[in-house]
Amino acid sequence: MRRLRRTQVMRDAVADVRIDPVGLVCPLFVTAGERSVPVASMPGVEQLPVEAAVAYIEAMVGRGLHQFMLFGVTAESRKDPEGNFAASEDAPVNRVLNAMGGRQDVIMIADLCFCEYTDHGHCGVLHPSMEPWTVDNDATLPRLAETAVAQARAGADVVAPSGMMDGQVGAVRVALDAAGFSHVAILAYSVKYASSLYGPFRDAAEGGMQFGDRRDYQMDFRRAHEWKEAVARDVAAGADIVMVKPAVSCLDIIAGVRRHCSIPVAAYHVSGEYAMLHAAAERGWVDLRSAAVEQTTAIRRAGADLIVTYFAPQLLDWLS
């Protein structure tokens, strides 16, 4: 076996898992502000104004990156209990979609959730009569449907319901089809665990909870088999792609999902996983490039067809 490990050229020749830029998805945080703002907990990541985001996407397309997932950063004055600004034409995500819509060389994915748009920071409408609080699943579904149609109208190629509401994929699919957007795909966050690794994302999107947590609607990572029902439900409801999140701590789940279904599988290399590598590299404990490539390869090896990662721009250089 060691004969095939003797040189780098030999190792490259016989490697059977490779990272291709065509399978990378770059997350972007888009703001209505006038300047780019670095995210302190995510080195190299910034909140981008609309014009800067459009320019960045165009530059990355020129380098071979073709998939982008947009998250909105919303001013406090535009937030409300139901996250209505998410469906507005003035929302930064929808403005970027409108600027990029119709292009054949890019795939624009719109995150479909309300945590960045609600004044309480939860992923749906709160139930009016339950204390101290709970998300009203059924009241949130029509809001998701309305927002999905608005994102499709703005130019989204893919909408990505990520709030973990039961029935969200079906509600979105019906609404898109009824509005004449049957060509718009759904990337379903079918397997999204309540995780300690989302903190930097909440800094970047300014969508942290004002109270409570999300464990009553995101999945419990101690349950090893629940994903089977979740994936089957979303596929039956019309999902075109299913997502596992987080990625590195759920490699076994990614592998199981890949065996379980025939549609594309995505995995989200989340903000905490990204930030931990940067923190370790800053202390000289790991080499950032080697560690990032190793983790991304592990995600691909587990079975992910698409990898959502903040390392996407650097991987273009590191893998060339």
Please tell me the distance from the alpha carbon of residue 266 to that of residue 320, in angstroms, as a whole number: 22
Please tell me the distance from the alpha carbon of residue 252 to that of residue 258, in angstroms, as a whole number: 10
Catalytic entry in 173, 192, 214, 269: 192
Nearest Cα residue to 291 out of 268, 314, 267: 314
Relative orientation angle of helices 168-178 and 137-154, to the nearest 10 degrees: 40
Tell me if residue 245 is catalytic. yes
Tell me if residue 228 is catalytic. no
Quote the tokens at residue 220: 């419990």
Phi then psi dihedrals of residue 133, to 5 deg? -175, 155
Question: Phi-psi region for residue 242, left (φ > 0), alpha (ψ -120 to 50) or beta?
Answer: beta
Specify which residues 29 forms β-bridges with. 47, 71
Catalytic entry in 143, 245, 278, 300: 245
**Active-site amino acid positions:** 192, 245
